[in-house]
Amino acid sequence: MSETSDAIVVYVTTPAPEVARQIAGELLDKKLIACANLVSPVQSLYSWQGAVQNESETLMIIKTRRSQFDALCRAVQALHPYQVPEIIAIPIILGSTSYLDWIQDVTS
């Protein structure tokens, strides 16, 4: 078990699974991420332009390194159809050493 890590989980929501697959593919090709899990559908309720929205979306759960976040963020913004896409990162505070080493290896 490793307690210190550069690894992060990034959440990105998209309007459809196809959009999530396209973004994940680009991020993998650029070695910005190790993995993306796609969860669909998720129901998202949010405020946008003064009105409450209720939409089905696809949630991307992305594993990468903190040092890749800025490039990942730029790539997602360039590919994403939303004006303000959700791109948030959460640190991985504990994890299997072999898994965290794998994230490091494939995103270097």
Sequence-distant (≥ 6) Cβ neighbours of residue 101 within 8 angstroms: none
pLDDT tens digits, one per residue of 12-37: 999 999 999 999 999 999 999 999 99
- The pLDDT of residue 5 is 77
pLDDT, one tens digit per residue, over 50-82 is: 999 999 999 999 999 999 999 999 999 999 999
Nearest alpha carbon to residue 80 among 23, 21, 18: 23
Domain limits of the chain? Answer: 7-106
Q: What CATH class has 7-106?
A: alpha beta
Tell me the whole-structure pTM to 2 decimals. 0.94
23, 79 Cβ separation under 8 angstroms: yes
Could you give the strand order of the β-sheet that contains 88-91, starting from the edge strand earlier in sequence?
A: 35-48, 51-65, 7-14, 88-91
